[in-house]
Amino acid sequence: MGSRDKIKHLRREQLIEATIDTIAKRGFRKTTLSHVAKQAKLSQGIVNFYFKTKDGLLFETLKSLTEEYETTWKRAVAAAGPNPVSELNAIIETDLGPHVCNQRKVSVWVAFWSEARSEPRFRKFCSLLTEDYFLQIREIVIRIADRSGRHDVDVDAVARGLNSMINGLWLELMIDPRNFDREAAKRACRNYLTSVFPTEFAAIDHPVTAPRRASQPGRRSEGSWTEEILENGNDPGGTKADT
């Protein structure tokens, strides 16, 4: 790659990262090319040189997020070795690890999922990623079922169940970052798989940590949600989770 191409590549990456930051802070609808330029500390003219429209920049941002995510979890699966139980555990560790499961990235994923309802290009991209993820999980579940002689297992239901759990835990991070417990989230996924494959997943060597004490329901005084939101700048979680 020549020096000019290298600079062009770095500028595009810089603008995509600035777009992710801007969407995470402002939301999808309120993000403008001007905001992205300010976040990247570049002139709007440079932004317009690389991306002619906001839609073009947003689509490239979605592509970049998708490629990074696929590369990350597929690399984790490959590193886990040929054991399908280890592969599925690696996916849980990756999907709920701080590199993937953080407020910055999850908020942007949710923003794109929301826009996918009315934007065909976003919908197609998100659909392809979801289907590829499902097929990969399904293939691993099939191998576990074959190895354990569990031919009665509904592999489609198990694969979709795990995917739904992880998506729900991502949303939990967004809604209540202060109380989000990463290790408890991983345990929940492993417990789900243990309920299907008790012998295989009970033997996984993973760190055991004491569950955090759940907050007591019904203990907030009247109006305390409003007060907390106002005090923390519209973030009911107060402090931010790792980003």
- Give the CA distances from residue 240 to residues 70, 102, 154, 175, 224, in Å, rounded to whole numbers and listed in that order: 26, 9, 38, 11, 19
Q: What is the pLDDT of residues 192-243, one digit of tens each?
A: 999 999 998 886 754 444 444 444 444 343 333 334 433 444 443 343 344 3
Residue 132 has pLDDT above 70, yes or no: yes
15-39 average pLDDT score: 94
Q: What is the pLDDT of residue 203?
A: 67
Q: What is the pLDDT of residue 213?
A: 47
Residue 175 has pLDDT above 80, yes or no: yes
Residue 178 has pLDDT above 50, yes or no: yes
Q: What is the pLDDT of residue 4?
A: 78
pLDDT band, residue 6 (cuts 50/70/90): confident
Q: Quickly count: other Cβ atoms within 10 Å of residue 94's Cβ.
A: 21
Residue 160 has pLDDT above 50, yes or no: yes
Q: What percent of the chain has pLDDT over 90?
A: 71
Q: Higher confidence at residue 89 or residue 238? A: 89
Q: What domains can be seen in the chain, in order of their start residue?
A: 1-52 (1.10.10.60), 54-205 (1.10.357.10)
